[in-house]
Amino acid sequence: MADYQIPGAGEICWRELRTRDISTAREFYSALFGWSLEQSKVTEMPYQEIILNGAAQGGMMAMDNAEWGDAPSHWASYIAVDNADETVAKITANGGSVHVPPFDAPGVGRMAMVADPSGADFAIIQFVSA
């Protein structure tokens, strides 16, 4: 992973493109914004980190397996939290919903895919301590 500062709780900290056509997405965003894309060093799965000014700002991943169903390509925003499990409990207690319960992403942290009461999707992430 390129340089990355672990954000504080509540910060929108990562943007991720989940796409049905990773090749076209790489070409499009690189040409449009001059992004440099590099394979992540923190995961073995194919995951392209978006590098700007030497720092990772987000990532791109292919939606090429059955777990995605018929979901269209989309951008996801991650919000940093101190404790993913406690935050999921607060989300549901306040009328939100959980699409994917907390799980461990080796080398990264603990995350969950959730939604606010209006149905707006977002992800939470509890980073591994530096």
Q: Assess if residue 3 is contained within a domain.
A: no
Are residues 64 and 38 part of one domain?
yes
Interval 93-103: pLDDT, tens: 999 999 999 99
Read off φ and ψ for residue 87, nearest 5 degrees.
Answer: -65, -40
β-partners of residue 37 are: 50
Are residues 115 and 60 part of one domain?
no
How confident is the model over 62-83, as a mean pLDDT? 91
How confident is the model over 11-27, as a mean pLDDT? 95
Residue 33, H or E segment: helix 22-33
Are residues 56 and 13 part of one domain?
yes
Q: What is the CATH classification number for the domain harbouring 42?
A: 3.10.180.10
Using alpha carbons, select from 28, 31, 11 the residue that is nearest to residue 19.
Answer: 28
For residue 49 the two structure tokens come to 């980190």
Are residues 111 and 68 part of one domain?
no
Most confidently modeled of 1-10, 65-74, 87-96? 87-96
- Domain of 92 in residue numbering reads as 81-130
Are residues 89 and 48 part of one domain?
no
Higher pLDDT, 7 or 93: 93
Predicted model pTM: 0.86
Q: Report the domain count for the chain.
A: 2
